[in-house]
Chain A
Amino acid sequence: MNNYNPISALVIFFIIVGLLYVFFRPVKGWFWLLKKNFRSNEKVIIEDVLKQLYHFEYSENKVDMKTLVQVLDFNNGRIVEAIKKMTINDLIYFESDILKLTEKGRDYALRIVRVHRLWERYLADKTGFHKNEWHDRAESMEHKLSHDDAEELSAQLGNPKFDPHGDPIPTRTGKMAQVNGVELPRLAVGAVGRITHIEDEPDIIYKQILAENIHIGSLLKVIENNSTRIVFRSEGEEFKLAPIVAANLTVAVIEKEIVIEDNIARLSSLTEHETAKIIGISRESRGESRRRLLDLGFVKGSTVSIDLVNPLGQPNAYLIKGTSIALRNDQAAKILIKKD
């Protein structure tokens, strides 16, 4: 027993660890790939085709077979197979080479969209998943939930109108709230508006917007708008975006000359010995966290000041309604204040 070789033991150990990594590493592990492949059955393909057609229809674009095959991440042969079946089942039809949804197909598509957006709402309000994971999780969930499940989910969430990106959630009967606004690059310099929607596709641009810390529901004022960049102020900070990125933000212009107070700021920018009045909590703070903040007294009109500065930078303790409450900086950044 004593004459084994430690080196071979180590080698075997690292081989096992390596194999486990290859199989189970997040997203690209073989295990997950296999699992994903396994579940991309016909139903999934049909539903994805319907959804894509619906999105094209919603944005008033026409789509032919070639474009469709490009946007879908499936084997071409299987897509053609699915399309054939869908035509037979009266879900879609061809107008020359343009694909169109039938009434029945649109209903089906709306149901998928409803489940997708409800699930994103659910992930945002009731779980702790980071927002750059919502979309992918909803993509796989939309094929799993039945009609009744969706009803129950909707009731549990209090029948929300919008998903966390600001997209309207179709009701059971297919009714949808209106998204107001235009794409940000179409706003003139000096215009004031509120961000009503943040498009989560394509992924690359969405991640860039997330990294900029731009929140849905924020008021903004355009300072500069030209073909190279768009500059705007929001919540006391200045943002510079490329037009292609800015186009993913939908902004409802506020016509009335309401005062976009220049001294609206985020609570995180409050310094010691300053006091401020709370204006509200950004829509970016959701679910349990938002409720907790409200319950603790971070409501419109409350006076707030810094009670204690943290030796490590955060969380700082804020004095609110006579009690000292510590909040981390990312929470404080979602509370809007007006400094006195």
Chain B
Amino acid sequence: METKVNTACETCSHFNKEGLKKLGIQTDNFDFVVALAGNPNTGKSTVFNALTGLRQHTGNWPGKTVMRAEGGFEYNTDKYKLVDLPGTYSLLSTSEDEATARDFILFGKPDVTIIVVDANRLERNLNLVLQILEITDKAVLCLNLMDEAKRNKVEIDVRTLSKDLGIPVVPASARFNQGIPELIQTVSEIASGQIVCKPHRIKNVPENIEKAVKTLTAEIEKEFPNIPNSRWIAFRLLEGDKEIIKALKSGEFV
């Protein structure tokens, strides 16, 4: 596999192999929280297992992980707690899985969010990616299943993708542990603030909605300056999301 080391982040310092310790289910005294999100059936659990050394069951069957699984790893003396969110196609609906994933990214304020996508089905997966990027600006895209993509003759211009999305993109084949060191390195650099992301914001929104969103966003920012996801909150308010209304009232965003 030659594609594997073409990491998008050019400033990446070299991966320090000695610095990695897989901690399994020990998640005490962590320094950073890392969320793991992605569509069903993208090998998200495989990435989780590769990072933590755990062996969570990973069925080839959409929607396996329903409950939140947690694990940990240590890299360069920093301890990371990894939270595996349920695999979902979107974060806009009302199902239990989606609410779990959505609330964790929004209220759990993870230090880094790893978004696992299937390189063969990038377009479908981007639906979720673009939504997550509205919520958090500390994210890395893990372009998983590169081995299959290669077999299917799917070529991805990782640098352009990274530029378009405004976040680092790491190609990987988690089944064969390829790309995982680069992923860990990138995660640590985002967590420590060495990489600052400028995530893509959804553009193709009809005019009348964009206008409403702008009005609402302005009001929200007046009330909560420095909030990174005022636009997402506006989206959710327009959907009538009760959780968001409750959180606004209790001031959870401050």
Contacts and interface: CB of A to CB of B under 8 A. Distances in A.
Band of interface residues on B: 10 to 19
B121 A295 contact: no
Given A158-B238, A291-B94, A322-B123, 7 more contacts: A288-B95, A291-B93, A295-B92, A295-B93, A295-B127, A321-B121, A323-B124
B242 interface: yes
A155 B240 contact: yes
A292 B238 CA distance: 19
A321 B239 CA distance: 26
Interface of A: 155-159, 288, 291-292, 294-297, 321-323
B89 A322 contact: no
Contacts of B242: 155-156
B123 A321 contact: yes
A297 B124 contact: yes
A295 B95 CA distance: 12
B186 to A, nearest CB: 26
Interface of B: 89-90, 92-95, 120-121, 123-124, 127, 238-240, 242, 245
The 3 A-B residue pairs with the shortest CB-CB distance in the complex, in nearest-first order: A158-B240, A295-B90, A321-B124
B149 to A, nearest CB: 11
A159 B240 contact: yes
Contacts of B123: 297, 321-322
Contacts, number: 38
15 contacts: A156-B240, A159-B240, A288-B94, A291-B90, A291-B92, A291-B94, A295-B90, A295-B92, A295-B93, A295-B127, A296-B89, A321-B121, A321-B123, A322-B121, A322-B124
Nearest to A287: B94
Contacts of B127: 295, 297
Given A295-B90, A295-B127, A322 B120 contact: yes
Contacts of A296: 89
Nearest to B245: A155
A113 to B, nearest CB: 21
Nearest to B238: A158
A291 B242 CA distance: 18
B89 A295 contact: yes
Q: Chain B CB within 10 Å — which of A158, A288, A292, A323 has the most?
A: A323
A98 B95 CA distance: 51
Contact of A157 (B89, B121, B240, B245): B240
Contacts of B90: 291, 294-295
A294 B89 CA distance: 10
Contacts of B238: 158
A291 to B, nearest CB: 4
Contacts of B121: 321-323
Contacts of B239: 158
Nearest to A157: B240
Given A156-B242, A158-B239, A158-B240, A292 B124 contact: no
Nearest to B41: A323
Contacts of A294: 90
Contacts of A159: 240
A158 B94 CA distance: 13
Nearest to A158: B240
A155 B90 CA distance: 22
Nearest to B94: A288
Contacts of B240: 155-159
Contacts of A292: 89, 93
Q: Chain B CB within 10 Å — which of A158, A292, A295 has the most?
A: A295
